[in-house]
A = this chain, B = another copy of it.
Amino acid sequence: MPMTKVYLRKGRSADERRAISEAIHRALVDVIGIPADDLYHVFHELDDDNLISAPAAFGLARRREAVFIQFCFAQRPAETLQLVWASVVANLGELTDLEPSDIYLNLVPSPSENWWTDGRVLDTRTGYDARMDQSS
């Protein structure tokens, strides 16, 4: 039951934001196996004065189009997270004009028992949503 926040400067169209959302969602469905309807994305469009970042970071120039995507879901192993990051970056490259250096990714962990919504059933064996792909 992930929840994802996207921080970006104003100026991207609704279609572009929708494409960013699609890129994120595909990655979570493909890599972590979340159900297709388990979708909650928030965009924070910010004035330049309200998003302060370095024009170059980690040795690379950073464009004002850069996005910070902050995921919230239960902690996964570092290897799984690497697959999530790679999938998000690849999907953004395919669906938007964002380049790898435009992308910041972070997971804030929140364990499965810390989520509630009506109709959600946990698999008592896995602790995850009972509908999730057993391989994930």
Chain A residues close to B by CB (< 8 Å): 1, 3, 7, 14, 17-18, 21, 36-46, 49-54, 56-60, 68, 70, 72, 75, 78, 81, 85, 100-101, 103-111, 113-121
Contacts and interface: CB of A to CB of B under 8 A. Distances in A.
Given A106-B72, A118-B101, A41 B52 contact: yes
B106 A115 contact: yes
B105 A107 contact: no
Given A37-B56, A108-B72, A42 B115 contact: no
Copies in the assembly, this chain: 3
Given A81-B114, A104-B117, A38 B50 contact: no
A41 B48 CA distance: 11
A119 B50 CA distance: 25
B43 A113 contact: no
Nearest to A78: B113
B101 A119 contact: yes
Given A42-B51, A101-B118, 4 more contacts: A37-B56, A59-B119, A81-B113, A108-B108
B120 A58 contact: yes
Contacts of A114: 75, 81, 106-109
